[in-house]
Amino acid sequence: MSTDDTNDNTTSSWRNATRAVRGGTERSQFSETSEALFLNSGYTYGSAEEAEAAFDGSKPRYVYSRYANPTVTMFEKRLAMIEGADFARGTAAGMAAVFCSMACFLGVGSRVVASRAIFGSCYYIINDILPKYGIEAVFVDGRDLDQWKQALATKTDAVFLESPSNPTLEIIDLKAVCDLAHESGAKVIVDNVFASPSLQNPLSYGADVVVYSTTKHIDGQGRCLGGAVLSNDKEYMEEQLGAYLKHTGPALSPFNAWVMLKGLETLSLRMDKHCENAIKVAEFLESHDRVARILYPGLPSHPQHELAMQQMSAGGSVVTFDVKGGKAEAFSMLNNLKIIDISNNLGDAKSLATHPATTTHQRMSPDERALVGIGDDMVRLSVGLEDVDDLIEDLDQALNA
Ligand SMILES: *Cc1c(COP(=O)(O)O)cnc(C)c1O
């Protein structure tokens, strides 16, 4: 089922907090309050004629959960409403969303221009997998508009970027890059995981497609994998992405969709708290004498603080910093944490810290890591929902140990 009726008369006037709690709800014949979990793969037909009509498209309905499922549809509609998008599709994981958003319309001879500072697996897809299908990949420093201009002077099919980026929290001027990309004939795909729909809506700056790992803030409690692709482009969502998902099968599990649907109800409350804690942690780390450098878009010291605050309503949940010394000192800090867990996940209620160079970005060569500024002394901290004073005390004792 598509999500093109989310802007009907009853719901289009709702504000976002109402959309987050009620958007997309479809009650069954039992009139349940909380959304139902339809844990089924198939559907039954009252007659052979009904099945025929479902398959020839004359009577649209659910036919198989690889194509669509009512719980997944509710999640897609709610997320679309919060994002302000006409269409949304759920996927099994964020990486399925990233891959399918490009694979569904690119082919031999296509060209992708991407920012270099992106999540390790996104980099692998663009740098290693897409070229096997005859798709040219070009990387630029996303902060440098001249590099975008130069790369996009050649006709391009897709632009892929992350802002803020993982883990260096680079900010890309979304409006400027979208304008350049459109002149070059490219669709702009923004991985909006770090900001979440609650802090930044790339479609409003001209992006054509937004992708999420809903595993992160949208679940927000470290339970389920999921992803999503959103756009206002009906042809792209139905003819290209819709057909690709239907036939290749990276469907979002109804159970995971149900968890994420409930996650959306508290997303903005949680994001407010994540950001409130993160700025306090960032301010503390900035003044700590064991910290060599701190990157947080919400701090005035961030090189693109002003742009970040134009595009985002707050700085986000992730704080990245360099520990004075190198790998040994960064590892020692991580090993001495008592509350904060070592984990490569992010966007969880629990604060999580990771060493990008040896985990999430370990696949990149040392030279590639150096180009995006990921050193052996770097720690990425996903600030959770605990009492911020406990987090600060934990970081302080771990840094001083
Ligand atoms: C985690 C992450 C992904 C991948 O999502 P999965 O749900 O783990 O597949 C993609 N992009 C960014 C920025 C991420 O942080």
- DSSP-assigned beta bridge partners for residue 318: 382
Q: How far is the CA of 252 from the centre of ligand 1 (A)?
A: 15
User: Which tens digit of pLDDT belongs to each residue from 276-300?
Assistant: 999 999 999 999 999 999 999 999 9
Asked whether 159 and 188 are in contact (CB, 8 A), the reply is yes
Residues 6+ apart with CB under 8 A from 35: 25, 26, 71, 74, 258, 261, 262
Structural domains in the chain, sorted by start = 14-263 (3.40.640.10), 266-400 (3.90.1150.10)
Which of 161, 166, 345 is the best mutation target for the ligand 1 pocket, counting ligand atoms within 8 Å of the beta carbon and taking the most?
Answer: 166
Q: Whose alpha carbon is nearest atom 11 of ligand 1?
A: 119
CB 244 within 8 A of CB 102: no
Task: Name the stretches of the chain with pLDDT < 50.
Answer: 1-7
Helices (H), 1-160: 16-22, 48-55, 70-83, 94-103, 120-124, 145-151
**Beta carbons of 230 and 88 less than 8 angstroms apart:** yes
Quick check: CB of 170 below 6 Å from ligand 1? no
Closest CA to 321 of 353, 273, 351, 344: 353
Instruction: Return the best residue to mutate from 115, 118, 121 for the ligand 1 pocket (most ligand atoms within 8 A of CB).
Output: 121
Helix or strand run (H / E) with residue 254: helix 254-286
For residue 325, the cross-strand partners are: none
Residue 119 Cα to ligand 1 midpoint, Å, equals: 7
User: What residue owns the CA closest to ligand 1's atom 6?
Assistant: 94
- The reported pTM is 0.95
Return the pLDDT at 10.
Answer: 66
Do the Cβ atoms of 245 and 100 come closer than 8 Å?
yes
| Rounded distance between C-alpha atoms, residue 386 and residue 391, angstroms | 7
Could you tell me the maximum CA-CA distance found in the chain, to the nearest angstrom? 74
Any ligand 1 atom below 6 A from CB of 321 = no
Any atom of ligand 1 within 6 Å of the Cβ of 95: yes
Do 319 and 294 meet the contact criterion of CB atoms below 8 Å apart? yes
Query: What percent of the residues of the chain are helix, what percent strand, and what percent coil, each to the nearest 5?
Result: 40, 15, 45
* Residue 166 beta carbon below 6 angstroms from any ligand 1 atom: yes
Of the CA atoms within 13 Å of residue 207, those in its CB half-sphere come to: 29
315 Cα to the center of ligand 1, angstroms: 19
pLDDT of residue 181: 98
Element (H, E) at 371: helix 366-372
